[in-house]
Amino acid sequence: KGSSFVVCIPTRSCAIHYSQSSMEMIIQKIKEKKLRALVVDDDRANLKVIMNYLLQAGVAEVQTARDGLEASVKYLKAIHDKKPFQLVTMDFNMEVMNGKEALRIIRKYERENDIDPCIAFMISGISTDKDVDEYLDPKTEYKVHYYLRKPVIYTRLIECLANEFGK
């Protein structure tokens, strides 16, 4: 009936192991920052999982979008409403507009309007090593800070959030 494979893709590591008390301190620091996040994925189950992970990690507000176009509109509206997102998780492969195109629009708007860039996570289950290197290259038009492979693992997400917001 076919074969199953597990592929491990090396990514930028933020793999630090925390004790329970350290984890609680990190979550408290994240809560104090009152972060707003936009989670973008065309799969409802993935949206729900990532949204719940972020809320458990102390993110104050999480909004969702089902494709890159909807995400771009929500992101720009949030800036206009003076309620910007500090964090965006973006699925790479979506209908209507993919994650790379959406981040290209977001980054262009940030540059043109002298806005601090949000922390961006690219999330995918099908990316190659070359794709990951491209996502994480700071010279790209759609600068991504972290790459997470599906299925997203809570502790990996927390480690990356701690690296950005847990200080």
- Over residues 36-67, the pLDDT tens digits come to 999 999 999 999 999 999 999 999 999 999 99
**Between 30 and 124, where is the model more confident?**
30
Per-residue pLDDT for 24 more than 80?
yes
Contacts of residue 115, defined as CB under 8 A and 6 or more positions apart, other chains included, come to: 79, 84, 109
Per-residue pLDDT for 126 more than 90?
no
For the chain, where are the alpha helices, taking DSSP H only?
20-32, 44-56, 68-80, 99-112, 129-136, 154-165
Q: What is the pLDDT of residue 125?
A: 78
Q: Name the average pLDDT for the chain.
A: 84
Q: What is the pLDDT of residue 18?
A: 62
Per-residue pLDDT for 11 more than 70?
no
Least confident interval from 39-48, 75-84, 88-97: 88-97
In this structure, the number of other CB atoms found within 10 A of the CB of residue 27 comes to 18
**Between 150 and 70, where is the model more confident?**
70
Give the integer Cα–Cα distance in Å for 124 and 128: 10
In this structure, the number of other CB atoms found within 10 A of the CB of residue 106 comes to 26
